[in-house]
Structure 1
Amino acid sequence: MTAATLLPTYFLSHGGGPWPWMRDETGTAYDALDASLKDIPGQIGGKPKAVLAVTAHWEGPDFLLSSSSSPGMIYDYGGFPPHTYQIRYGAPGLPELAARAQALLREAGFGAQLDAERGFDHGTFSALYPVFPEADVPVVQLSLKAGLAPLEHLRAGRALAPLRTQGVLIVGSGLSYHNLRAFNARGAEASHAFDGWLRAAMALPPRERTAALMAWESAPAARQAHPREEHLLPLMVALGAAEEEPASVVYHEDDFFGALAVSSFRFGA
């Protein structure tokens, strides 16, 4: 992979908690998601120089970027087996990428700060472990911005687009359905309605697609699928960084957790 390669961007439905380390407990429930994530290196032609991971599990008054060269771990989940609180995903950070992303965001008029203390949360390490299990690709995390405005996150993606030609894989990690109070058969109707709309929106021409996603709250069952939109906003960053390029469904299930419809998308070839 050369530095001038134009990498695609991704929105990944990252699954629940530390699932890659719970295969004995979950059986085959995550097989399709696991396979879709393992396929990413083949899609992009190898390993990127680094990953910029937009995580649904971090918010700040400005955009925040993890800037440690050796990030720690954040076990931001509860009720899981003891061994999942000992997980280590040892990917290095890349302070120079954090600084470059900060500069691009500031040039676009955003406040952007570096955070040398932030470790990897499960939205990052659970999504990236199947992709790069050797943890040998540097990772910088990007937070969401308080207020959760879709347009601000779209604009942030636009600002970060130059990183795609510098060997940086931009990944938005969230979940296309995220209503934890109905994460079972009670959420089936809403998840299928919203996911169907979302996949149809992805097939629209670029300008219509952007307009549809900026107005996502008017989609069928939108607030049933996302009572709070933090797990959808990483999609807006991934879209903004590849706004004129086609979208592809790279993962879809109709019976996630036995009933739910969930999807992941790639923008670009």
Structure 2
Amino acid sequence: MSAPDRMPTYFISHGGGPWPWMKDQLGDAYAPLEHFLRALPEQLPARPRALLVITGHWETPDLRVSSGERPGMIYDYYNFPPHTYEIEYPAAGDPELAELISQRLQAAGITVRQDPARGFDHGTFVPLAVSWPEADVPVVMLSMLDHRDPAQHIAIGRALASLRDEGVLIIGSGLSYHNLRLMNAAGAEPSRQFDNWLQQTLTGAIGTERSQALTQWEAAPAARIAHAEEDHLVPLFVVAGAAENDPAECVHHEEGAFGHITVSSFRFG
């Protein structure tokens, strides 16, 4: 692909549980997120060759990339209706892309191993089922390192940046606010404060300035309230690293998600 056809990268706030299959219970609570996800393919310069998803639901001590031809399903949520444990998202894997990802990472001095058994967790299949309901684009997943170091995850993104010129759409799937104990009125102000910092940091800076700010995210207002555990923030570091020198824009913003919470999603490039 030429530069005008270079794929952007995305950080998606993917919502809670299997929400697209619970409209009878949830009504239009997820309408803004659904609208954004449905429109996402139209924002791309071309149809993706494949999707590379860094999911906030796959954390490992050593970096891993899914390499199976037909990934299965992982229902990593609890106390939801029985039918949500029968969901299928039959997208193919892409072993050749998994090998290419491994090569790019190793060339950058980053150790990775392939995992042919990894299936689609809900951080992967939930947003993709809305954006690509036909499941007709191959999907590969990349884990997060369990030490969660921002600089190292930004470096992982840098090592994979060239995939954007080869038709690969890189998606970080997490949540801009993820404190399950404060998904209520008590979380409204902390989520707003942290979201304001995200907006200013991601859209107001670029290159190493933005990357440096992300490495110091814990100093942001309400950071450790918004992310008592930062597993749902780490995917942002990877997609920001993969588009380090590109501007960012907020492409999905809600005040009142989950009833009270401010959340956002971002596009880079």
TM-score (norm 1): 0.97
Question: In structure 1, what is the equivalent of residue 178 of structure 2?
Answer: 178
Residue-by-residue CA offset, 1:58-104 (whole Å, 9 max, x unaligned): 11122111100100000000010000000000100000011111111
Alpha-carbon distance in 1 for matches of 2:187, 2:93: 37
Using the TM superposition, give the Cα deviation of residue 46 of structure 1 relative to its aligned residue in structure 2, in angstroms. 4.3
SS at match of 2:80: coil
Alpha-carbon distance in 2 for matches of 1:135, 1:81: 23
SS at match of 2:204: coil
Amino acid at match of 1:236: F
Greater shift, 246-255 or 206-215, is seen at 206-215
Task: Confirm or deny that 1:47 pairs with 2:47.
Answer: yes
Using the TM superposition, give the Cα deviation of residue 175 of structure 1 relative to its aligned residue in structure 2, in angstroms. 0.3
**Structure 1 segments unaligned to the other structure (5+ residues):** none
Contact 1:177–1:226 (Cα < 8 Å) also in 2: yes
Amino acid at match of 1:18: P
Question: In structure 1, what is the equivalent of residue 107 of structure 2?
Answer: 107
Question: In structure 2, what is the equivalent of residue 223 of structure 1?
Answer: 224
SS at match of 1:129: helix
Alpha-carbon distance in 1 for matches of 2:204, 2:238: 18
Alpha-carbon distance in 1 for matches of 2:180, 2:2: 40
Using the TM superposition, give the Cα deviation of residue 204 of structure 1 relative to its aligned residue in structure 2, in angstroms. 2.1
Alpha-carbon distance in 2 for matches of 1:55, 1:99: 19
Alpha-carbon distance in 2 for matches of 1:185, 1:101: 42
Residue-by-residue CA offset, 1:34-72 (whole Å, 9 max, x unaligned): 011111111003420100000111111221111001000
Contact 2:250–2:264 (Cα < 8 Å) also in 1: yes
Contact 1:91–1:136 (Cα < 8 Å) also in 2: yes
Equivalent residues in 2 for 1:13-162 (5 A)?
13-162=13-162
Residue-by-residue CA offset, 1:9-37 (whole Å, 9 max, x unaligned): 00000000111111111101000000111
Question: In structure 2, what is the equivalent of residue 232 of structure 1?
Answer: 233
- Shift in CA distance, 60/72, structure 1 to aligned 2, threshold 3 Å: same
Alpha-carbon distance in 2 for matches of 1:119, 1:142: 11
SS at match of 1:203: helix
Greater shift, 36-45 or 67-76, is seen at 36-45
Contact 2:6–2:45 (Cα < 8 Å) also in 1: no
Using the TM superposition, give the Cα deviation of residue 115 of structure 1 relative to its aligned residue in structure 2, in angstroms. 0.5
Contact 1:3–1:166 (Cα < 8 Å) also in 2: no
Contact 2:218–2:224 (Cα < 8 Å) also in 1: yes
Alpha-carbon distance in 2 for matches of 1:61, 1:41: 33
Contact 2:7–2:45 (Cα < 8 Å) also in 1: no
Percent identity over the alignment? 55
Greater shift, 101-110 or 226-235, is seen at 101-110
Alpha-carbon distance in 2 for matches of 1:198, 1:176: 8
Count residues in correspondence.
267
- Shift in CA distance, 3/64, structure 1 to aligned 2, threshold 3 Å: farther
Alpha-carbon distance in 1 for matches of 2:18, 2:236: 21
Alpha-carbon distance in 1 for matches of 2:47, 2:134: 11
Alpha-carbon distance in 1 for matches of 2:42, 2:78: 34
Amino acid at match of 1:55: T
Using the TM superposition, give the Cα deviation of residue 205 of structure 1 relative to its aligned residue in structure 2, in angstroms. 2.6
- Shift in CA distance, 192/258, structure 1 to aligned 2, threshold 3 Å: same
Q: Which runs of 4+ in 1 moved over 4 A?
A: none
Alpha-carbon distance in 1 for matches of 2:62, 2:105: 10
Alpha-carbon distance in 2 for matches of 1:205, 1:119: 36
Alpha-carbon distance in 2 for matches of 1:128, 1:44: 15
Question: In structure 1, what is the equivalent of residue 211 of structure 2?
Answer: 210
Amino acid at match of 1:262: V
Question: In structure 1, what is the equivalent of residue 268 of structure 2?
Answer: 267
Alpha-carbon distance in 2 for matches of 1:193, 1:36: 23
Residue-by-residue CA offset, 1:106-141 (whole Å, 9 max, x unaligned): 111111010010100000001111110000000000
SS at match of 2:266: strand
Question: In structure 2, what is the equivalent of residue 193 of structure 1?
Answer: 193
Contact 1:62–1:110 (Cα < 8 Å) also in 2: no
